[in-house]
Amino acid sequence: MAVRDKTIISTGYNGAPRGLPHCLDIGCARKGMKSGTHPELCRATHAEQNVVANAARMGVSLFGATIYIKDVPCVLCAKILINSGISQVIVKGCEYPGYKDSIMMFSKACIEVKRLIPTGGLILIDIKLFGR
Ligand SMILES: [Zn+2]
Ligand SMILES: [Zn+2]
């Protein structure tokens, strides 16, 4: 979900391109493979990429927007989000494989990644914490 000025300006979810059958309906070619591996085999697009695509479809700029995501995005999504012009990423968790690489990429692009904490509030996820 992309937000600017307390307003939702775009949303996206993991799914097949418009008009194509979803993996849940006809099965996924990645079935049985480890999470985060061989994304090219799956017909679904990641929610983060769909946020950007849906914004483009409607002519909405994501420049300066904050993105809310369940987990730190994969590296592919991180690259696309960086180039969309977003300024901040807020996540619930850090469970996606390769999330450290994504955080490092955001860090180098001067985009803050913050984590929602269950008790309320946000903490900055600092790449320095990972010793890289
Ligand atoms: Zn799939
Ligand atoms: Zn992704």
What would the pLDDT profile of 31-74 be if each residue is shown by its tens digit? 899 877 887 888 899 999 999 999 999 999 999 999 999 999 99
Query: How much is the average pLDDT of 85-95?
Result: 91
Distance from residue 131's CA to the centre of ligand 2 (Å): 24
Ligand in nearest proximity to the CA of 20: 1
Residue 131 has pLDDT above 60, yes or no: no
Instruction: List the beta bridge partners of residue 91.
Output: 69, 115
Sheet containing 112-116: order of strands: 7-10, 2-4, 66-71, 88-93, 112-116, 122-124
| Residues whose CB is less than 8 angstroms from the CB of residue 84 and which lie 6 or more positions away in sequence, other chains included | 52, 55, 62, 63, 65
Percent of the chain at pLDDT > 70 equals 95
Ligand in nearest proximity to the CA of 46: 2
Distance from residue 73's CA to the centre of ligand 2 (Å): 5
Residue 102 has pLDDT above 90, yes or no: yes
Average pLDDT taken over every residue of the chain = 90
| Residues whose CB is less than 8 angstroms from the CB of residue 89 and which lie 6 or more positions away in sequence, other chains included | 66, 67, 69, 72, 73, 81, 106, 111, 112, 113, 114
Distance from residue 127's CA to the centre of ligand 1 (Å): 30
Distance from residue 51's CA to the centre of ligand 1 (Å): 18
